[in-house]
Amino acid sequence: MKATYKKYNLDFKRPSGTSRGVLTQKETWFIILEEEDKSAIGECGILRGLSIDDVSNYEEILQWTCHNIHLGLDPLLKELVEFPSIQFGLEMAFKSLEIDDKFELFPSEFTQNKASIPINGLIWMGTPEFMSCQIREKIDAGFSCLKLKIGAIDFETEISLLKSIRKEFSVNDMELRVDANGAFKPSEALEKLKMLSEFKLHSIEQPIKQGQIQEMARLCEQTPLPIALDEELIGVFSVTDKAKLLQIINPQYIILKPSFVGGWSGSSAWIQVAKSHNVAWWITSALESNIGLNAIAQWTFTLGNNMPQGLGTGALFANNFDSPLQVKNATLRYDNKQIWNVNL
C-alpha cells in the first residue's frame, strides 16, 4: 500500500463571520491510498485556531502517517490520538479502499436517494442587513430550523433579529438555535441566556469559552434554555475523561464534529458516554469539503437521529468538489445520478 497527502485550500464564496473572526479561506488536507489497482481518499479537516491538532508540524505528522501506513488503521489511530483530524482522514481512506464505489462508504437508503437527512439552515454573523437577508433566504428555501451565529455584533441587535423571527414564526413553526462560539463572559452569560430564553430557543451552543468547567456546570444547572457543548469536547481523548466532563457539567446536549473528536470512532465513544448520562446529541460538519462532508453525512444517517443535523455546509465554497450531495427542502440528499469530480 502506498500513501501520499496533499493540501487544498477551500475558498469561501463570501466572507463568513464568527465570534472568532471572518473566514475567507479554509485549509484542508487529503490522504490518498493506493493498493494494486484501487485508490482511496480521506480528508483531514483541520480548522486553524480551533482544532486541537492545530500545530506547526502538522505536515510532518502527515508525512509520518503516510510513511507508516503499513502499520494498518487501528495501530495508526492509537498513535494519532492527539490528531483527531488525521484519525478521521485515515478512517475515511481505509473505509474507501474496502468498497467498490470509493465514495459510497455506508450504503443505505440515503445513498440510494430514497431518504434524506434533515438539516438546519446556518446564518453567519455580519451586519444586521446581511443576517436578515440570510434568514429570509433560508426561510424561502423551506428551512424550519435555523442556527444563528451570535456574539460578534451588538447583543441588542441580535436580540432584535430573533424577535423579528419570532414575530413571524411561532416555536411550532420555526426551531431556533444559536451558537455563541464561547463569546459570552461567565459573569454576563446567565443574564444573556435569560434574555435569549424569551424567544423559546431550542438551544445555545457553547455560551462561554471552553475550559471553564465549573462555570459551565453552574450555567447548565441554572440555565433557562438548553445548553449544547461544542468546543468543550475538543481535546478530551479518553472515555474516562469524556464521562468525567459530562458528569461535572451535565449539559442538555453535545454537538459532535468528527474532524475535531477523532472521526467515527471518537464520535461513537462520545455518543455512548452521552447516552449513559442522558445527554442528547447531534452531528455537525466542521467546514470540510464535500469529501469529508460525504463521509460524515453517510455515517450520520446510519445513527437514526431525527433531529436536524448541521450538515448544510457544502455550498459555502467556490471551489468545492462536484458531488451527489444536494440540499433540497431543508434536507441533505444524495442524488446518486450525479457523479463525483475530484481533481487534486
Catalytic residue list: 149, 257
- Nearest in space to 258 (alpha carbons), one of 285, 228, 236, 227: 285
Name residues whose C-beta falls within 8 Å of residue 113's C-beta, 6 or more positions apart in sequence: 333, 334, 335, 336, 337
- Nearest in space to 270 (alpha carbons), one of 242, 244, 297: 242
Q: Exposed, middle or buried, 295 (CB in 10 Å: 0-12/13-18/19+)? A: buried
Residue with cell 446529541: 281
Cell numbers that stand for 184 in this block: 459570552
- Can you list the positions of beta strands (E) in 48-104? none
Measured CA to CA, the distance from residue 69 to residue 29 in angstroms comes to 16
